[in-house]
Chain A
């Protein structure tokens, strides 16, 4: 129920919210610093105190508990919430279990490197070099995997970086925990529950009972670590209160001290306690799981009862709620990932993508939009910060048009956020994965775009990132790729020039694709088993439905739903190449396959090559249009990938789910991929996510229909569709058209869409004059980034993305850049 007089909350601005204004200023002024605190304590624990005879869950819990006990309680500013992800104001925590050692070569230079420096003191660099990194030389997930399988073919393919990324080497994370039981019972309540179950499990006196008891003990140990951290926060806040001169500051610290003494150990009784309890638990989860896409989920639903009660009982007003939610948003943005210089090209500028999901329907399928939904939208609109990654669910039958328009308005005002998600399509997609209707209706977004029933679904949604252009090239060149030279990578398939029909080429392509996916899955399974031994998640398990009932960690399949996600890069480019081959070679016989291969190999060199390239680029069927061949090939590829992945069951007992989001990989992988048959020259960037190739889809309606036509049920991992609109002077009118377009796209079956409201010229100017656009936020492929932080390839991709004029629904031609880049 909406009780707000004005859902826009336009009376609340940063001018009359000075705390948020100042905290926002600080968040932009702060430079990232590497925080070695976690690496230091987990290393000391494992080196000096670990008992290898303990169960993996218990070892992990003790390690995490040790870190949380030693984690420094710090208060960097006047944020009303206690707790911080790292010891730094804007910190990049190091997880030596994953890729922290990639920082080693630049320990002395990371603070001063040209692109996105991250500060590291000389003392900390020395400690990493001499004390911490040497311990992990052969102990991170990648090396434990190598020790397990040797230099297997799947590992070689991964390490060559041009076929697929096996993301488990760097993380699993990517989850939406549920904080409801913690808010209701407090962590002490959850610990008591685990203790009782431990006793019951031991009473069975069986191997399974002992394993369950180990898990329950691990849950208790890890949650006790969070309580200890909260106690330390309370002590520090009390100390700061005692030395504060300003009575308002003193009271703020006293309030925080009191809150940290009560929660998250005990149940939350107020809105503020609930918000701070969630935040401290989020910090605790990051003691165990790397800060990548750990998503708080549907906070407007979770926090609403606390908000409503406080408002009704006069403890909270709208301004107070906005201030607390703003504080939470800024806390969520207090950390970044450590990115070594070598990875800047692929991942530079990305945040940690903790997703928050607003609106949609409730478990009964009814409108779930409430006052907090609008408060969170207003906070998002006011702060315009990269993280958290805010997403708006929309059910066009149940949610109001006012809500849809309000979301559209926030997108227009922030130029980028939130992203829109279609409840109808996404709930159907999750039901197709065996989720109950109630659970599917309670879905939240993870990281970029992935879907999961809140606190019930452990989807490891970023397990595989597969470059679809690789199997296409392998199909063209009989299992070889130009970038890997004469090395036989995939199976030797027939020379395409000998094939009599497109259908046979499609079979060849599928055989290379299937072979590569099998390798990616094989490696993911091995890494999953390494995680089971090395990185179980008893702490995170306490915030899920399933593990406490089954007595089993998430990594052992404890969750209600257990899937693995595989996303795909270069979808549109590959579909367009298939279209070009089918139409130009086999139907029109405009050129032979041999001639096409020669031109592709030669990067369309020479006048004849360029003439044919332009023909392929301009005349061959394009995904994103009404062309039936393009639609068929896109559908076939999506369907084939769905069937293939779903036929595989992962190490936790769940299926693989295909998805289409690319982060920044479409830029990096495009740069190193040769020419392709649709007229793309060597090194040109791939299209992002499931978005059509830039310039290929001139009509907005046809473009949206073509994407929607792919059918969400075959994309349970969801997709990222990037659309760029030119801004209009009349925001209200544009919001109306915007909302109508969204509704039409969703009614056609589209799952997700995200926007950049900016012109080609504005982005060109932002590249030339970054100082003029210090806060310009853009949508990349599922997440937001500050334009100035992105690498040049990504800037190129964003600038050249097709821009549509909403007044006529047509693409605006891309203008030549004056004076070059």
Chain B
């Protein structure tokens, strides 16, 4: 499996993730984030430890209904699907990509402001969100830096 994920493919994914951080499109940011998470779980032993014995069901929805994505963690793996799932541990409903980005991962993160302005609304156990936020931020910190 490791062999299949070539260095070049990873590089492209990181580039996409990096560019999606400045994108306005929710689906692109979220999809890229989730895909990258799946890949890094496979290739990075240390990052994979986040998966160990973790069971969690996340539902992401945009307020306009255009984006409905679920991320399900179980049996030491992560699955992503574009559908509504039953019994999510947490549902995160966001106004647009920018607000979701700002909520989860932005260097100038404004979780409280996002919630106060109702840019992002959550329903369910917030601890799942905190763990997800950590995993997303770890990715951000792992992002290869462009050569100076």
Answer yes or no: A737 CB below 8 A from chain B CBs.
no
* Interface of chain A: mostly helix, strand, loop or mixed: helix
* Cα of A683 to Cα of B133 in the assembled complex, Å: 28
Taking the closest CB of chain A, its distance from the CB of B120, in whole angstroms, is 11
Answer yes or no: A626 CB below 8 A from chain B CBs.
no
Answer yes or no: A196 CB below 8 A from chain B CBs.
no
Q: Chain B 112-148 against A: per-residue CB contact (8 Å), 1 yes, 0 no? A: 1101111000111111101101101110010000000
A345 and B113 contact, Cβ closer than 8 Å, known pairs A101-B127, A102-B130: yes
Of residues 45 through 64 on chain B, the ones whose CB sits less than 8 Å from some CB of chain A are 49-50, 52-54
* Residues from chain A with Cβ under 8 Å of B54 in the complex: 134
* Cα of A484 to Cα of B117 in the assembled complex, Å: 8
Taking the closest CB of chain B, its distance from the CB of A133, in whole angstroms, is 7
Query: Count of chain B residues with Cβ under 8 Å from any Cβ of A?
Result: 29
Answer yes or no: B111 CB below 8 A from chain A CBs.
yes
The answer to whether B116 and A137 have CB atoms under 8 Å apart is no
Taking the closest CB of chain B, its distance from the CB of A470, in whole angstroms, is 12
Answer yes or no: B109 CB below 8 A from chain A CBs.
yes
* Cα of A814 to Cα of B127 in the assembled complex, Å: 45
Q: Chain A 120-141 against B: per-residue CB contact (8 Å), 1 yes, 0 no? A: 0000000001100110111010
* Residues from chain A with Cβ under 8 Å of B127 in the complex: 101, 104, 133, 136-138, 140, 143
The answer to whether A138 and B133 have CB atoms under 8 Å apart is no
The answer to whether A342 and B118 have CB atoms under 8 Å apart is no
Taking the closest CB of chain A, its distance from the CB of B137, in whole angstroms, is 6
The answer to whether B137 and A105 have CB atoms under 8 Å apart is yes
* Residues from chain A with Cβ under 8 Å of B111 in the complex: 105, 341-342
* Residues from chain B with Cβ under 8 Å of A134 in the complex: 53-54, 131
The answer to whether B122 and A159 have CB atoms under 8 Å apart is yes
* Residues from chain A with Cβ under 8 Å of B53 in the complex: 134
The answer to whether A105 and B134 have CB atoms under 8 Å apart is yes
* Residues from chain B with Cβ under 8 Å of A343 in the complex: 112
The answer to whether B112 and A345 have CB atoms under 8 Å apart is yes
The answer to whether A108 and B138 have CB atoms under 8 Å apart is yes
The answer to whether B112 and A342 have CB atoms under 8 Å apart is yes
Answer yes or no: A346 CB below 8 A from chain B CBs.
yes
A109 and B137 contact, Cβ closer than 8 Å, known pairs A143-B125, A672-B117: yes
* Residues from chain B with Cβ under 8 Å of A203 in the complex: none
Chain B's closest residue to A106 (CB) is B137
> By CB atoms of chain B within 10 A, which of A129, A140, A484 has the most?
A129
Taking the closest CB of chain A, its distance from the CB of B118, in whole angstroms, is 7
Chain B's closest residue to A138 (CB) is B125
Chain A's closest residue to B109 (CB) is A341
* Residues from chain B with Cβ under 8 Å of A138 in the complex: 125, 127
Chain A's closest residue to B116 (CB) is A672
Answer yes or no: A192 CB below 8 A from chain B CBs.
no
Answer yes or no: A808 CB below 8 A from chain B CBs.
no
Of residues 93 through 121 on chain A, the ones whose CB sits less than 8 Å from some CB of chain B are 101-109
Answer yes or no: A183 CB below 8 A from chain B CBs.
no
From A105, A341, A342, A483, give the contact of B117 (CB < 8 A). A483
* Residues from chain B with Cβ under 8 Å of A159 in the complex: 122, 126
Taking the closest CB of chain B, its distance from the CB of A483, in whole angstroms, is 7
Q: Chain A 138-162 against B: per-residue CB contact (8 Å), 1 yes, 0 no? A: 1010110010000100000001111
The answer to whether A162 and B116 have CB atoms under 8 Å apart is yes
Chain B's closest residue to A114 (CB) is B108
The answer to whether A108 and B137 have CB atoms under 8 Å apart is yes
Chain B's closest residue to A107 (CB) is B134
Of residues 28 through 84 on chain B, the ones whose CB sits less than 8 Å from some CB of chain A are 49-50, 52-54
Taking the closest CB of chain A, its distance from the CB of B64, in whole angstroms, is 14
Taking the closest CB of chain B, its distance from the CB of A756, in whole angstroms, is 26
* Cα of A483 to Cα of B111 in the assembled complex, Å: 16
Chain B's closest residue to A156 (CB) is B123
From B52, B110, B124, give the contact of A151 (CB < 8 A). B124
The answer to whether A129 and B117 have CB atoms under 8 Å apart is no
Taking the closest CB of chain B, its distance from the CB of A138, in whole angstroms, is 6
Answer yes or no: A485 CB below 8 A from chain B CBs.
yes
A129 and B130 contact, Cβ closer than 8 Å, known pairs A105-B137, A483-B118: no
A interface residues with partner B (beta carbon < 8 Å): 101-109, 129-130, 133-134, 136-138, 140, 142-143, 146, 151, 159-162, 341-343, 345-346, 483-485, 668, 672
